[in-house]
Amino acid sequence: MWPFRTRRVSSPKSRSGSGQAPGPPQPPARAEVPEQPLGASLAQNLTALQKIFALCSDFTNRELSIGRSAIPAQLLFVNGLTDESIVGDSILRSLEDMTYFQVGVEGAGSMTQLKKRFLAVANVVEIGSLGEVSEAVLTGSAVLLLEGSAQALKIGAKGSEARNVEEPVTEGVVRGPREGFTETLRLNTALLRRKIKTPDLKLEKCVLGSVTKTEVNIAYLEKIVNPKLVVEVRERLARIKVDAILESAYIEELIEDTPWTFLPLIEHSERPDKVAAEILSGRVAIFTDGTPFVLLVPTMMFQFMQSSEDYYDRYPYAIMIRLVRFLFLNFALLLPAVYIAVTTYHQEMIPTPLLISITAAHEGVPFPTVVEVFAMEITFEALREAGVRLPKPVGQAVSIVGALVIGQAAVEANIVSPATVIVVALTGISSFAIPSYNFASAIRLLRFIMMILASVLGMFGILLGMLVFQAHLVSLRSFGVPYFAPFAPFNRQDAKDLLIRVPWWAMGERPRLLGAQNRKRQKFFLRPGPPDESKP
Amino acid sequence: MRRAIAFGLVLLMTLLLTSGCWDYRETDQLAIVYALGLDRIPGSDPILLTVQVVTPAAGTSMGASAGAGAESKAFTTISGTGKSVFDAISRLGRKLPRRLYFAHTKIIIFGRTLAEAGLGDVMDALNRNPEIRRTTLMFATDGSANQILAKSTPLERLPAKGLEMIAEKAKRNAFVPEVNLNALNCRFDGVPGVAFLPLVQLVKDPGSPSGSGAGENLTISRTAIFAKQHLVGILTRDESKGLMWLINRPQGQNVTLDGAGGAGVSALRILAGQTNIVPQVSENGISMEITCSARANVRETETVGLDLNDPASLKKLEHEAEQVITKQVETTITDAETGLDADFVGFGRQLRAEYPAEWKQVETSWKDIFPSVRFEVVCHIEIVNTGVMNNPSRPGAGKE
């Protein structure tokens, strides 16, 4: 097994030790469509399929007659899922052309002949049951039924409207590739394949969701990834028995190690370069059709503090910005709590001039500091939420009103003290300095817990809270890998890309916990310098 | 399971709500004491406690109200009496709507009456109070602390802050030592139980009209000497400067030469200096060898015809400075031995460090032996810098 202790809730079935064989999970059977083989009669087959697709207005059947002997045939597809040009130019044109050939297609093996000789389409498969036909039609293929044949041809004609490759919204960079994943799985995997041009890059397919039949791909580099990790990923995906997978978040919550933690245990990204980099360091990516967000497992906490741009900036600046980020992580988590603790319990900790100005600012404010900070923090959360949800032009209005009303009017009316506004604003900015949005959300939640502890027990409460939080952090695992690695357990090699980012010529090895199979990333001693003239 | 979780939550809430909040206090419930003064007055309540409390609302200009009209004072001085320091604090507290908060007290001043009667009682109260910091600066005054704390200072809105800065400057220019509560404790508890405190005085400006209050300013230029926690004397300015040499803190001191050897006044500034006190015990008794060595630069010279390019004239200045410093130090020691009869110069400490066995013999009678200790002061000054020009800027001076 995967060498690390895995803590996952297994289904009762697998707990009883039935021993699922590793391998790509098979799609669960659909109960409503009978696994009934096709008959030889075209009319019967068509009636059966029309019964299945009753009241489906997008289901289309095109009547044809093929060959010299004009054998009746039906071409079935779902309008909108297929590419009009493939159906028209490739399928219909080639079937029409057959009329002029002196070749019959009657009888057994006619399907094979059609496939081999006539259809000018790349992806053609023979299928033999009603269930397969309906599934093929629903996934965007065209299906050709022929009189007298118990086989059907599934012709790949997938091509629905897709969003263009655009700049990722959630992970912007100043320098770096500007392409982002889209909602189309094949396009996404192509974007990845374009970056990693090796057959080692495997894209295992599986289908999840009994109703949605969402295609999911497990991507990894065979020579780098720990094979046990792939097995673990397959098994966890095979466990999923839900009706629908509409976003990768569904999968994320179904395969986590610890379902009840605040912290995200699986990272996601919509940047092909980031996914490629993680795959290259031995991680497994889970692509889900219908969403640009790709899951990356296993995840360590420090990944959430790293941006892909850290690797594109010059490394001294990248180091500085990473350290600043960690400073602001602490601000985002603790600043309001420390402010509450210090101004209501430990006034001796504030420098005297600052205490005098804080006291002066709080003079005449009707609420206790705790109430003030909580009210402002919650208002800030509302403003942030409003800014995210509303249409862009309105969102700006919200932020202006928020800044004016909350920031200035409340202070001038002496409802909140200016010091509190500064603290809340700084905290807000700090939480935006965390590159990962979902990690920042977790920190925001924890901030409120810290604030409650600080308002009741002061610094002592913050200390207790941090102790519990730290203990929780080191107890978490993501796909069996310690969440707080490479800090705990510490690894010197991995620490090169942790709080700091060493230049590329110094990053000789892959992360210890991931690339166990093939640790050497590149040639050592790559540091550029003047040529050694002493050697010829 | 669900009941267990609910029970745990109830326990957690109880823990938070019953154990927390007991020392909760808002900043506007506090009267921040910036400076504390202690005097002794006749009567049944001998301790007069004076506190200088920050008035926070006046500290910032809130809207239009602060700018117009009479400028509100940034501080309030309140005093109260009591049988002891703590008694005085609690009685004073009854007069105030806010709790007296001593964690930000920067300055403690002992009035002359209290200092002469002895600091013993109040030192206990100051050291026992958890809010008072060990880094609080300690001062003595030759008047009453009450008066000093009521006086406002120019430039600073908080007079105690002004005093703090004056004391800092006095230390940096090495004419009066800086002493905090911890150092004072160490001096009192150590050998030979003698301490010194900077002396705050109210002095009249030369040009101001006579009359109470107006034109008086706070100043620090002299040092008060305590033996066995009693005020025994006050050093002059020169003696204070000599003391700075003896406690090994001469950096920044200005040495003014009155031009005895030449024709004008010069001033040197000590850049770095060190004093070594080496005790010698012989059958003739105890003697001390004091070596002051320092590097200095020239800050000012009006000496006509003095060529500072010439090493010989620098030597002349150096020599003159050495004489001045030697005299200062000698005066201080003489005053300690004969005038004040208190070993604040550190002879006893040095003897204990170098000759522990001999110290044991003289420890009990040190007070009698100290005045007869012989001493010799040697001074070495090296001028390393003459500023941005060489010779005096005087027509004709230094030409050719």
Spatial distance between the Cα atoms of B270 and B380, rounded to a whole number of angstroms: 12
A174's CB contacts (< 8 A; 6+ apart) are: A309
Q: Give residue B58's pLDDT.
A: 56
Among candidate residues B235, B263, B296, the one where a domain is terminated: B235
Q: Which of the four pLDDT bands, split at 50, 70 and 90, describes residue B256?
A: confident
Nearest residue of chain B to residue A418 (CA atoms): B62
* Contact call for A357 and B26, based on CB within 8 A: no
SS3 A356: helix
B32 found inside a domain:
yes
Q: What is the mean pLDDT of residues B346-363?
A: 88
What is the 3-state secondary structure of A147-209? CCCCCEEEECCECCCCCCCCCCCCCCCCCCCCCCCCCCHHHHHHHHHHHCCCCCEEEEEEEEC
Q: Does pLDDT of A51 surpass 80?
A: yes
**In this structure, what are the phi and psi dihedrals at residue A521, rounded to the nearest 5 degrees?**
-85, -40
Distances (CA, A) of A190 to A214, A230, A274, A289: 18, 21, 15, 13
B56-69 per-position pLDDT tens digit: 775 444 443 434 33
Q: Give residue B139's pLDDT.
A: 94
Distances (CA, A) of B104 to A87, A182, A347: 84, 60, 9
Spatial distance between the Cα atoms of A163 and A151, rounded to a whole number of angstroms: 35
Q: Does pLDDT of B353 surpass 50?
A: yes
Q: Give residue A513's pLDDT.
A: 79
Of the given ranges (A178-187, A261-270, A401-410, B102-111), which has the lowest mean pLDDT? A401-410
If asked whether residues B270 and B202 sit together in one domain, one would say no
CA distance B88 to chain A (A): 22
Contact B139, B199 (CB under 8 A): yes
Q: Does pLDDT of A448 surpass 50?
A: yes
If asked whether residues B208 and B257 sit together in one domain, one would say no
B4 found inside a domain:
no
- A124: nearest Cα among A86, A93, A74: A86
Q: Which uninterrupted H or E stretch holds A86? A: none
- Residues of B whose CB is below 8 A from A368: 26
Q: Give residue A15's pLDDT.
A: 40
Identity at A505, one-letter amino acid code: W
Contact A335, A430 (CB under 8 A): yes
Contact A42, A146 (CB under 8 A): yes
Spatial distance between the Cα atoms of B332 and B238, rounded to a whole number of angstroms: 8
Of the given ranges (A279-283, B135-139, B201-205, B387-391), which has the lowest mean pLDDT? B387-391
Q: Give residue A230's pLDDT.
A: 93
ipTM of the complex: 0.84
Contact B38, B111 (CB under 8 A): yes
Q: Give residue A383's pLDDT.
A: 85
B32's CB contacts (< 8 A; 6+ apart) are: A352, A355, A356, A359, B53, B54, B56, B101, B104
Residue A217: DSSP 8-state: E
Beta-ladder partners of B233: B225
B78-104 per-position pLDDT tens digit: 999 999 999 999 999 898 989 999 999
In a 10 Å sphere around its CB, with 0-12 CB exposed, 13-18 middle and 19+ buried, how is residue A532 labelled?
exposed
Q: Give residue A488's pLDDT.
A: 85
- Residues of A whose CB is below 8 A from B32: 352, 355-356, 359
Cα angle, residue A494 at apex, residues A488 and A499 outer, rounded to 5°: 80
Round to the nearest angstrom and report the end-to-end CA distance of chain A. 52
- Residues of B whose CB is below 8 A from A360: 56-60, 62
- A60: nearest Cα among A45, A39, A74: A74
Residue A91: DSSP 8-state: I
> Mutate which of A260, A348, A359, A464 to test chain B, going by most B C-beta atoms within 10 A?
A359
The pairing of strands A481-482 and A477-478 is antiparallel
CA distance B156 to chain A (A): 13
Q: What is the mean pLDDT of residues B362-380?
A: 89
Beta strands in A18-70 (DSSP E): 59-66
B289: domain CATH number is 3.30.300.210
Mean pLDDT of chain A: 85
Q: Give residue A442's pLDDT.
A: 94
Chain B contact residues (CB < 8 Å to A): 16-17, 19-21, 23-28, 30, 32, 34, 54, 56-60, 62-63, 101, 103-104, 106, 131
Distances (CA, A) of A315 to A275, A279, A300, A323, A496: 21, 22, 22, 12, 11
SS3 A114: helix
A83-126 per-position pLDDT tens digit: 888 888 888 888 887 776 655 555 556 777 777 777 778 888 88
Among candidate residues B235, B266, B293, the one where a domain is terminated: B235
Q: Does pLDDT of B136 surpass 50?
A: yes
Contact A319, A325 (CB under 8 A): no
Contact B194, B83 (CB under 8 A): no
Q: Give residue B69's pLDDT.
A: 38
Share of chain A above pLDDT 90, in %: 42
Q: Does pLDDT of A278 surpass 80?
A: yes
If asked whether residues B33 and B169 sit together in one domain, one would say yes
- Domain boundaries, position B313: 237-400
- Residues of A whose CB is below 8 A from B162: none
Contact A361, A418 (CB under 8 A): yes
- Count CB pairs under 8 A between chains A and B: 71
Residue A11 CA to its chain's centroid (Å): 24
Q: Does pLDDT of A150 surpass 50?
A: yes
CA distance A10 to chain B (A): 20
Instruction: For residue B280, give both structure tokens.
Output: 């010698």
If asked whether residues B204 and B83 sit together in one domain, one would say yes
* Contact call for B60 and A361, based on CB within 8 A: yes
Cα angle, residue A509 at apex, residues A507 and A511 outer, rounded to 5°: 105
* Contact call for A457 and B34, based on CB within 8 A: no
Q: Give residue A21's pLDDT.
A: 44
Residue A333 or A9, more confident: A333
Q: Give residue A232's pLDDT.
A: 93
Contact B51, A375 (CB under 8 A): no
CA distance B78 to chain A (A): 18
Beta-ladder partners of A129: A37
* Contact call for B27 and A352, based on CB within 8 A: no
Q: Does pLDDT of A33 surpass 60?
A: no
Q: Which of the four pLDDT bands, split at 50, 70 and 90, describes residue A13?
A: very low
- Residues of A whose CB is below 8 A from B24: 344-345
Chain A contact residues (CB < 8 Å to B): 343-345, 347-348, 352, 355-365, 368-369, 412, 452-453, 456-458, 461
- Residues of B whose CB is below 8 A from A453: 16
If asked whether residues B248 and B225 sit together in one domain, one would say no
- Residues of B whose CB is below 8 A from A343: 26-27
A455-494 per-position pLDDT tens digit: 998 999 999 999 999 999 999 999 989 999 888 888 888 8
Identity at A370, one-letter amino acid code: V
If asked whether residues B231 and B241 sit together in one domain, one would say no
Q: Does pLDDT of A10 surpass 60?
A: no
Of the given ranges (A95-99, A509-513, B301-305), which has the lowest mean pLDDT? B301-305
B7 found inside a domain:
no
Beta-ladder partners of B195: B226
B242 found inside a domain:
yes
Q: Give residue A108's pLDDT.
A: 53
Number of domains in chain B: 2
Q: Give residue A114's pLDDT.
A: 76
Spatial distance between the Cα atoms of A184 and B53, rounded to a whole number of angstroms: 70
Contact B147, B200 (CB under 8 A): no
Mean pLDDT of chain B: 85
If asked whether residues B259 and B122 sit together in one domain, one would say no
Instruction: For residue A127, give both structure tokens.
Output: 């299928």
Identity at A261, one-letter amino acid code: T
* Contact call for A345 and B24, based on CB within 8 A: yes
If asked whether residues B121 and B220 sit together in one domain, one would say yes
B200-247 per-position pLDDT tens digit: 998 877 766 555 456 788 889 899 999 888 999 999 988 999 999 999
Residue B270: DSSP 8-state: E
Nearest to A360 among B34, B57, B106 (CB): B57
Cα angle, residue A57 at apex, residues A54 and A63 outer, rounded to 5°: 85
Nearest residue of chain A to residue B29 (CA atoms): A359
B1 found inside a domain:
no
Residue A27: DSSP 8-state: P
Q: Give residue A405's pLDDT.
A: 73
* Contact call for A360 and B17, based on CB within 8 A: no
* Contact call for A356 and B20, based on CB within 8 A: no
Among candidate residues B179, B214, B235, the one where a domain is terminated: B235
- The Cα diameter of chain B in Å comes to 103
B333 found inside a domain:
yes
Residue B69 or A360, more confident: A360
Q: Give residue A29's pLDDT.
A: 45
If asked whether residues B279 and B260 sit together in one domain, one would say yes
Spatial distance between the Cα atoms of A340 and A452, rounded to a whole number of angstroms: 9
Nearest residue of chain A to residue B25 (CA atoms): A344
Q: Does pLDDT of A17 surpass 50?
A: no
- The Cα diameter of chain A in Å comes to 102
- Residues of A whose CB is below 8 A from B101: 347
B216 found inside a domain:
yes
If asked whether residues B229 and B244 sit together in one domain, one would say no
Q: Give residue A526's pLDDT.
A: 84
A428-444 per-position pLDDT tens digit: 999 989 999 999 999 99
If asked whether residues B140 and B276 sit together in one domain, one would say no
If asked whether residues B267 and B301 sit together in one domain, one would say yes
B168 found inside a domain:
yes
Nearest to B59 among A357, A364, A458 (CB): A357
- B242: nearest Cα among B179, B192, B175, B293: B175
